[in-house]
A and B are shown apart, each in its own frame.
Chain A
Amino acid sequence: MLSERYLQSVQALVREILQREMNAIRRAAEWCTEAKRSGRRLWHLDIGHFPPFETAPERAGNPRLFEPLSYRLEEVQKIGRGDVLVFGSILGVFALSVDICAEAKQKGAKVVYIGSPVDVKVVPPQHPSGRRVADVADLVIRTHVPYTDGVLEEPWLSTPACPLSGFANTLVYWMLNAEIIRLLEAGKA
């Protein structure tokens, strides 16, 4: 059944992130914790469909460690030296995404990218420089989502069905939050 296969794909994705991305998540959490302790700010911008709502500051259970950033280049003016920007996007190929992340780095912030970068021959970057967000970011936390986003393939389907990226980016965001809280609470002890 396709419903069961989708669920299995999600379970496999969570396990893969656990097995392969914990070092990156811990490193990002260390940067964020250090920034928080130094009085610097944490920013979050995800341009996906589901994550902007699910990770909104007013969301019940959001510890509000991060401040939301809108998807406009002017927003980067809010970012300062020593801040951390966590940027989510499935492939990170839009020109504006690259400009925002590059500008944030130029202002002295660290940039953490949550997504699934693929070879430029498969999905060409839209930035004139040919760069993707993954090429600009200081750290990439890979979500291991197929570049088509849809994960269910059948000979009778004209394109892969049922995407994973909304779930995956949300998962990594909450994992990162949990890890930052662990470090902050450990510092209180």
Chain B
Amino acid sequence: MTISAEEYARRLLAELQDLRSSHLIAVERAAEAMAQRVLQGARLFIVDDNSGLVSEVLGRAGGLMMIQRLPTTDLEGAGIASPDILVACSRRAENVSMSVLARDARQRGAYVVAICPTSQGDDPLSLPRWASMHLSVPKDEGVFKTSDGNGVCPISGAVACVVLWMLTAAFIERMHARGKTPHLWRSIKLPDSKPFNEKGLEATAREGY
């Protein structure tokens, strides 16, 4: 395959087209379950094996004020219980610590959405196995091979980022349908953002979403 900027973008477009056919139903189902739980008082947590997606959604313009970083992998210490929600993101399906976390969160009654590649084998400690809903993303390999055989220019992170925002969009819509539109962050670069965000944070603390 020819290495080029255009080819990278075309490969990404192909992956995005696949998302349309393979993910929309699963995203909507996950969002529906999340909305139902939030109405029962659930908190929404996110954890990520490299912090990139956590950073992407926390305090983010256009993102949810209610979402929180999982404060500790000690679920008891974090107080994770039913009906809470955990979005678990990983660059690998076979990720022991994330799988154990997902398993334990499920056992404590939480709803777990996994955003990670599909398992290749039958590993009992694969993240998708323990998720309530698995949203698959490409494996963490570069799109191209250089002349010395190295895989370069990964696509998995960009796709995972899109999947996470699709899930957020669906969740916002499902909550709105119930008359409970969640509060969102406004860009701090906009002149009116400070009072807007302060008001939203107060409402989120009061209402939970």
Contacts and interface: CB of A to CB of B under 8 A. Distances in A.
Contacts of A79: none
A149 B60 CA distance: 9
Contacts of B72: none
Interface string B110-136: 000000000000000000000000000
A91 B19 CA distance: 29
A61 B166 contact: no
Contacts of B187: 147-150
A29 interface: yes
B152 interface: yes
A14 B11 CA distance: 11
Interface residues of B, number: 70
Q: How large is the interface on A (under 10, 10 to 19, 20 to 34, 35 or more residues)?
A: 35 or more
Contacts, number: 206
Interface in B1-36: 2-10, 12-13, 16-17, 19-20, 24, 27-28, 31
B12 to A, nearest CB: 6
A166 B63 CA distance: 12
A176 interface: yes
B168 interface: yes
24 contacts: A2-B172, A10-B16, A11-B13, A14-B16, A15-B13, A22-B5, A49-B56, A53-B51, A60-B151, A62-B152, A123-B189, A148-B186, A149-B187, A151-B62, A158-B181, A159-B184, A161-B63, A161-B168, A161-B169, A162-B172, A166-B161, A167-B165, A174-B8, A175-B6
Interface of B: 2-10, 12-13, 16-17, 19-20, 24, 27-28, 31, 50-53, 55-63, 91, 140-144, 146-147, 150-155, 157-158, 161-162, 165-170, 172-173, 176, 181, 183-187, 189-191, 196, 200
